[in-house]
Amino acid sequence: MEQVLASVGVGTLQTRDLLSSADLTRDEYEIVLARAVDLKREFRADRRHVARPLAGRTVALILEKQSLRTRVTFEAGLDQLGGHALYLGEGIGFGVRESVADIARNLERWLDGIVIRTFGHSVVSELAAEASIPVFNALTDDEHPFQALADLLTLREHFGRLDGLVMTFVGDGNNVYHSLALAGATMGMEIRLAHPEGYGPNPSIVALAESIALANGGKIVVAQDPSRLVPGSDALYADVWVSMGQEDQSHARLAAFAGYCVDTQLLELAGAGTVAMHCLPAHRGQEITAEVLDGPRSLAFEQAENRLHVQKAFLVESLGR
């Protein structure tokens, strides 16, 4: 493993935050993905790593939203590479018990990094601005950059490339879509979104993704009719229709999204080699059918595994010794 780590170079992105999928250049995405490939290969072979590049590093996990994949993969990943995760849970009270700035100024004196999963993106931005240690966005209402990294790795493993691939996101123009649009555009992909009226993406993020796509040979397409967008797609992507914090909108959302289920018919319309993706948790029978999610063309659980590997990769690049 020492040779594997040396092949890419520990700390190429030394002390870097990851707040948005727009934070990384194409070359920097390549660095993180290459690191993730090496770490995944070794972990799958031995369930352990010889080198411990995060030894002595302690990272806070501030998770204000429920989590399975985020907590387990960050805690396990830090442990596997010699570091320590300090779980702080939901009780921090940003802006209530204590200001974001004061929390940042405390944590920077004790720790080496902060992983945060919260609601408003402004909290993550302020935390990063005030803290002298790296801040890693594990999900906000605006973005989910580590999920996008895992999805890029999953697509590259399956297709052998990213440049020129076409992904159609079917459903809500939400945080996962935002990060996929930004990351996919950076890597030269065409990212399409089919969404119900009134549930489109943030126009400023779409504009940024379009400018990134223009510079990298990618493309952003946003429309409403899934049947017109999915043909020719390499991947169809589904996500929950009602996210955490939207429970009061559940009835309206279920009605609006009724025609946006990734089922066998939609997958066949996309193409014979099209794969299905989902960031999980999934509601079988709503945004995706059980037949598709559990079928041979689904990459959902590979995506979930790859959260571990891309997160470890970025932590090594940012905090590794």
Domains of the chain: 2-143+304-319 (3.40.50.1370), 147-303 (3.40.50.1370)
CA pair distance 44, 10, nearest whole angstrom:
21
In the annotation, is 144 catalytic?
A: yes
Catalytic residue selected from 80, 147, 303, 311: 147
Give me the mean pLDDT over the 314-321 stretch: 95
In the annotation, is 178 catalytic?
A: no
In the annotation, is 147 catalytic?
A: yes
pLDDT tens for residues 72-118?
A: 999 999 999 999 999 997 667 787 889 999 999 999 999 999 999 99
The reported pLDDT for the residue numbered 221 is 98
The reported pLDDT for the residue numbered 91 is 66
No. of helices (H) and no. of strands (E), the chain: 13, 9
In angstroms, the Cα distances linking 68 to 40, 74, 246 are 20, 10, 19
- 274 Cβ contact list (under 8 Å, min separation 6): 230, 233, 234, 235, 236, 267, 297
Catalytic residue selected from 69, 117, 156, 278: 117
pLDDT tens for residues 233-288?
A: 999 999 999 876 667 778 899 999 999 999 999 999 999 999 999 999 999 999 99
In the annotation, is 279 catalytic?
A: yes
Catalytic residue selected from 261, 279, 303, 311: 279
Give me the mean pLDDT over the 169-197 stretch: 98
In the annotation, is 307 catalytic?
A: yes
Catalytic residue selected from 144, 178, 195, 309: 144
In the annotation, is 158 catalytic?
A: no
Output the six-digit token pair for 144: 């989910």
* Cα dihedral across residues 20, 203, 270, 297: positive or negative: positive
Per-chain mean pLDDT for the chain: 94
Res. 3: pLDDT tops 60? no
Catalytic residue selected from 16, 71, 156, 307: 307
Output the six-digit token pair for 283: 């509601």
Catalytic residue selected from 156, 239, 253, 311: 239
Q: What pTM does this model have?
A: 0.95
Give me the mean pLDDT over the 196-225 stretch: 98
